[in-house]
Amino acid sequence: MRLLHLAGLSLLLALAGCATPPALEPAAPAPVTTAKPELPAVVPAGPLRPITAADAASRGVANLQPPADLWDRIRRGFKMTNLDSDLVRQQEQWYSSRPDYIQRMTERSRKYLFHVVEELERRNMPTELALLPFVESAFNPQAVSSARAAGMWQFMPATGQYFELKQNVFRDDRRDVLASTRAALDYLQKLHGMFGDWHLALAAYNWGEGSVGRAIARNQKSGLGTGYLDLNMPNETRFYVPKLQAVKNIVGTPENFRAELPLIENHPYFQSVVVSRDIDIQLAARLADISIEDFKALNPSMHRPVILAAGTPQILLPWDNAKVFQRNFEAYNAGQYASWTAWSAPSTMSVPDAARRVGMSEADLRSVNAIPPRMLIKVGSVLIVPRTAKMQDDVASHVADNGQLSLAPENVTRRTTVKAGKNETVASVARRYKLSAAQVADWNDVAASAAFKAGQQVVLFVPVRAATSAPSVRASASSSTAPARAAARVTPKRAAKPAKRR
């Protein structure tokens, strides 16, 4: 019986193993879950509770909540070592006692701050550096220092040229929001690479890398420290990083300083729009449906009334106005986009002569091209002049990118009289004072081949410097001015390497 029981049990097991299961219902889709960190091997006993923000911060867990505003985003990116000194306290007091000033500069920054933060994060740089234009220029892209540093990042002309910021008759990229931010962050990264410390990099940005390098070398030679607070610096640089630290502290905890920061949304303020034709700034603002002031605030590098597409192929417009501009630009059929063009002076000439050539009044030519009094326009200079209705071509790229206005001062002359010597002629007097015989003849109402009697009074108009150096020339009571040519160019020269910024 026992054998029969075992055999039956074996048969049942075999049949169970060979059985085909019934058709299954389609499986329900697995629930989609967000990836979570692996749990620890041992789970503590007791009920689970949600992780609070304090827990997340203490455990180094990334805060998954998006920034409430741009200020919050900036605070999250602080990476620089804090500077704690009496100078910082002094600067905190200065800023916090001027709430109107803080309000003005923070309101001004709302147009540019998002872009600066984006660029810093893209480069993995400390977001404290987004606050540097508050120290440099109060976020004013039109700011110009007494040392000719310009823009919200305050580039000197030579340093700007080194970092490929164009400075020509049409625009100054030291004021351009995109170009100057790119150059400033390039420069700061370069300086951080040189010194390995953000405080020293900032000191070099203000004082020049050569000056900081020499100050470090002096301290090393004397066995002294080489940190920012250890160096012997001019007062401006000594206060520079404390100013930034003070602004950082106020932005970090404005309630501690009774400061109110305006709401700046974590959203782009502007976007870039391609310009395919030369266009007047006034028309561009009208097609974008914004005021000329708002247009210039976003495009501060342009210092002429026309945008040249070959040199400035894009403009910045408020986010919601970019599409408005594109639609209106494509539909525009009221005539030319640009009423201005570029003209190159064929020779050195006076401003009145140039005005007559281009069909403008002298006052208008001076105003639109910013030509000061008593200056000559040198050959090859590029000026903005009216564009005729027949002119179809836009300004060429080599002119739009490199046009310069070169001026030469008109020398001041004084009316003088000299006594003619024995056998003196118009030609001999002209040679003696380096004048033309035609001029001497005209001033004295005689022929160019005429001779003077000994002791005769001869009228001359001589440059003042020549008059003071020539002992035989005597000034008369009456004086006037006459144009004369000189060759002193006033445009800056290109620097071979970054120069001191101040």
Res. 490 pLDDT band, cuts 50 70 90? very low
Q: Which pLDDT belongs to residue 226?
A: 96
Q: pLDDT-based confidence at 334, cuts 50/70/90?
A: confident
Residues 277 and 150 in one domain: no
Q: Of 136, 209, 410, 424, which is the active-site residue?
A: 136
We report the CATH number of the domain holding residue 446 as: 3.10.350
274 shares a domain with 350: no
In this structure, is the dihedral angle defined by the CA atoms of residues 85, 90, 92 and 95, taken in order, positive or negative?
Answer: negative
Q: Is residue 61, in this structure, part of any structural domain at all?
A: no
Co-location of 466 and 380 in the same domain? no
92-101 pLDDT per residue, tens: 999 999 999 9
- The sheet with strand 474-475 has its strands ordered as 457-463, 413-419, 474-475
Regarding whether 151 and 187 lie in a shared domain, the answer is yes
345 domain residue, yes or no: yes
Please tell me whether residues 245 and 100 are part of one structural domain: yes
CA 65/CA 199 separation, integer angstroms: 31
Map 348-380 to HEC letters. CEEHHHHHHHHCCCHHHHHHHHCCCCCEEECCC
Task: Identify whether 354 is part of a domain.
Answer: yes
Task: Note the pLDDT of residue 64.
Answer: 63
For the stretch 248-258, pLDDT in tens is: 999 999 999 99
Looking at the fold, whether 325 and 448 belong to one and the same domain comes out as: no
**200 is a domain residue:** yes
17 versus 327: the higher-pLDDT residue is 327
Q: Do 425 and 404 reside in the same domain of the chain?
A: no
The mean pLDDT of 183-196, rounded to a whole number, is: 98
Instruction: Output DSSP code: residue 144.
Output: B
Of the candidate ranges 105-119, 201-215, 399-413, 486-500, the one whose mean pLDDT is the lowest: 486-500
pLDDT exceeds 70 at position 461: yes
pLDDT on residue 470: 40
Residue range 340-358, pLDDT digits in tens = 999 999 999 999 999 999 9
183 and 132 in one domain? yes
Residues 237 and 307 in one domain: no
Examine residue 121 and state whether it is found in any structural domain, yes or no: yes
Q: CB atoms < 10 A from the CB of 415, how many?
A: 18
The Cα 159–Cα 23 span in angstroms is 79
Q: Which of 72-81, 216-225, 473-482 has the lowest mean pLDDT?
A: 473-482
Average pLDDT, the chain: 84
Same-domain pairing of 134 and 244: yes
Co-location of 208 and 180 in the same domain: yes
Is residue 1, in this structure, part of any structural domain at all? no
- Do 189 and 201 belong together in one domain? yes
Position 51 scores a pLDDT of 45
**Model confidence, pTM:** 0.72
Residue that terminates a domain, selected from 196, 222, 257: 257
Q: How many domains does the chain have?
A: 4
Query: Which residue range is the domain that position 438 belongs to?
Result: 413-475
Give the domain-ending residue among 409, 444, 459: 409
Residue 396 lies in a domain: yes
The answer to whether residue 380 sits within a structural domain is yes
Q: Is 410 a catalytic residue?
A: no
pLDDT on residue 114: 98
User: What does the pLDDT average to over 263-291?
Assistant: 97
**Residue that is last in its domain, among 409, 434, 450:** 409
